[in-house]
Amino acid sequence: MKASEPSEQCKEVFAALSEYLDLELSPASCEELEAHLKGCPPCIEFVESLRKSIDLCRGYSPTESPQPLSDNARHELQEAYLRMLQARENP
């Protein structure tokens, strides 16, 4: 059995969801989108799942860290920094 298609309005809402969640929609478009959401439980459910997924991305904490910086690498960086300071003082 073929799944029933989402309405055109659902598709429009779907395309604008990131802007909606980032508060970047114009007040008129925002009002229109919220009016649709009020009568469309599947869209509400979808928005919530997207919101949680974005929250996960924003709260992402890496599971890997770089190796500790070697003395040589640190020295190289410090030299570059000091050269920059010197060049600025004696252009």
Partner 1 sequence: MDRQLEVELARRLLAGEAQAFDRFVEHFRAKIFHYSWLMCGQREDAEEVAQETLMKTFENFRQLQDPERVRPWLFRIAKNVCLTKRRRSIFAPTPAQELSLDALMPSRDSRAGSLKIEIADWSHLPEDLVLKTEMMNELQAAIRTLPEIYRSVILLRDMEQLSTTETAHILDVSDDVVKTRLHRARLAIRKHLDGRLRNSVKEMAL
> Closest separation between CB of residue 83 and partner 1, Å?
8
The footprint of partner 1 on residues 15-44 (CB under 8 A) is: 15, 17-19, 24, 40-42
> Closest separation between CB of residue 68 and partner 1, Å?
10
Q: Which of 26, 60, 71, 90 binds partner 1 (CB under 8 A)?
A: 60
Q: Is 75 in the site for partner 1 (CB under 8 A)?
A: no
Identity of the residue, 1 or 28, whose beta carbon is nearer to partner 1 in the bound complex? 1
**Which residue do the tokens 């000091």 mark?**
82
Identity of the residue, 35 or 77, whose beta carbon is nearer to partner 1 in the bound complex? 77
> Closest separation between CB of residue 42 and partner 1, Å?
4
Reduced 3-state DSSP string for 6-75: CCHHHHHHHHHHHHHHCCCCCHHHHHHHHHHHHCCHHHHHHHHHHHHHHHHHHCCCCCCCCCCCCHHHHH
Residue pair 22/29 in contact (Cβ under 8 Å)? The answer is: no
